Amino acid sequence: MADLSESDRLQQETWFQRTIRRPEIGAFVVMIVIIFALLIMSNGKAFNALGLKNNIKIISQFGIIAMGAALLMIAGEFDLSIGSMIGFAGMSMALMLKWGLPFGLGEATPFLAFIITLAMTLTLGWFIGTVVVRSGLSSFIVTLAFLFFLRGATEVGFRLINKSTQVSGLQDFKQESWFADLLGGKVFGWFYDIWFAIGQFFVDQGIDRTDQWFTLGGNLNRRGTQWVDGFDARFLWFLVISAVAYFVLSRTQLGNWIYATGDNKDAARANGVPVNRVKIGLFMFTAFCATMFAACQVFDTNTADAAKGNLMELFAIAIAVVGGTLMTGGFGSVVGVAFGAVTVGLVSNAVFFIPTIDGAWFRVFVGAILLAAVFANERIRKRITGGI
């Protein structure tokens, strides 16, 4: 039978062939190379107790916004307003915490400040999405408009209410508020407890390890207590957002709709996929990710600044692409984006562990892997679609 013999022409793939065809494979290889390069060049410092904490902090920051950007890109749209949304959300929370709720409604608790800010950013995300789908304009230009608009509004808002474009010296809300602690505090303290317990074990056995990986020596403050006592809470949020994004994209109906919307929205619409609702929802999701980024920052450092989040939208898109997301939509992987966040995060921090290098190499590197990733993704797309 003609059709049967035709499908036979398709090679049965081995496990290995299937693996190298996965969208995240390129990002995975690059990540492993970077991890080992950094390990060797920094003499292990990048992954000692403090190094790991600092690296994971920046990886999580990148990861949170890259997830939003990636899901939106898979649905075929861009959001250039992520960075300005971070600044806007940070301003909104900090001003409420410092000057109280709007319209003289009294003191703001961290929870109220967050919820009111989230309501505003989600509304903005909804509005941006609605403008994009209703006008049919390119999301590139619509969100570019919001990049300027929101950044400007943030600065104006700061000056009007606060007289200065930064807020500093807020009280340390995470001391009293469990909610602020959830966003700006420490998580996974047990990890370092185990880490140092292993180090203590070596010391007790008389095996003196001086490479400061496990020993307490390098990680004691003057009072003799360990001072790396957990990861930043944003690590938890990065994991939560990634897990939800992975689940939604690969296991749910909504995930199928996201892929379908980005691949060919007319085909999706003809089959009853609510294309516009999917896109608007994802613009709201990027706004949510930007708000989480800002909230973690505000409650961690107790400061805010009108310039926060600058250029972050471009890093988010770059990481999404490095993670295997197609610029044209319809294809991408959450796992790959997580790998991309690790890669870019590690490299952006590398200067702190390898003092001899010029920090500007970071952007050279990001540019280079971005270009490489675009070509690699195009190859993968061609392999999947059989060279069309």
> Could you list the residues that contact another protein (CB under 8 A)?
1-4, 6-7, 10, 251-257, 259-260, 263-264, 266-268, 270-273, 326, 330-331, 381, 384-386, 388
Secondary structure element (H or E) that encloses residue 167, with its range: strand 166-167
Q: Enumerate residues 6+ apart whose C-beta is below 8 A from 209.
A: 199, 202, 203, 215
Crossing angle of helices 334-353 and 25-41, in 10° steps, is: 20
Q: Enumerate residues 6+ apart whose C-beta is below 8 A from 128.
A: 79, 81, 142, 143, 146, 283, 287
In the complex, the smallest distance separating the C-beta of residue 334 from another protein, rounded to whole angstroms, is 16
Length of the chain, in residues: 388
Which of 344, 253, 280, 272 lies closest to 63, judged by CA? 344
- Cβ proximity to another protein: between 278 and 312 the closer is 278
Q: Enumerate residues 6+ apart whose C-beta is below 8 A from 360.
A: none
Residue with tokens 């940070």: 90
In the complex, the smallest distance separating the C-beta of residue 208 from another protein, rounded to whole angstroms, is 52
- Cβ proximity to another protein: between 231 and 257 the closer is 257
Which of 218, 216, 223, 224 lies closest to 198, judged by CA? 216
In the complex, the smallest distance separating the C-beta of residue 255 from another protein, rounded to whole angstroms, is 8
In the complex, the smallest distance separating the C-beta of residue 73 from another protein, rounded to whole angstroms, is 13
- Cβ proximity to another protein: between 360 and 388 the closer is 388
- Cβ proximity to another protein: between 8 and 358 the closer is 8
Distance from C-alpha of 104 to C-alpha of 100, rounded to nearest angstrom = 7
- Cβ proximity to another protein: between 175 and 271 the closer is 271
- Cβ proximity to another protein: between 7 and 205 the closer is 7
In the complex, the smallest distance separating the C-beta of residue 27 from another protein, rounded to whole angstroms, is 18
- Cβ proximity to another protein: between 209 and 251 the closer is 251
In the complex, the smallest distance separating the C-beta of residue 278 from another protein, rounded to whole angstroms, is 11
Contact yes or no for 101/271 (Cβ under 8 A)? no
Residue with tokens 């471009």: 314
- Cβ proximity to another protein: between 105 and 267 the closer is 267
In the complex, the smallest distance separating the C-beta of residue 330 from another protein, rounded to whole angstroms, is 4
Q: Enumerate residues 6+ apart whose C-beta is below 8 A from 359.
A: 351
Question: Beta partners for 186?
Answer: 232
Q: Enumerate residues 6+ apart whose C-beta is below 8 A from 193.
A: none
Distance from C-alpha of 339 to C-alpha of 345, rounded to nearest angstrom = 10
- Cβ proximity to another protein: between 55 and 377 the closer is 377
Encoded tokens for 339: 């790998």
In the complex, the smallest distance separating the C-beta of residue 241 from another protein, rounded to whole angstroms, is 17
Distance from C-alpha of 183 to C-alpha of 2, rounded to nearest angstrom = 61
In the complex, the smallest distance separating the C-beta of residue 65 from another protein, rounded to whole angstroms, is 24
Contact yes or no for 84/72 (Cβ under 8 A)? no
Q: How far apart are the first and last CA of the chain?
A: 26
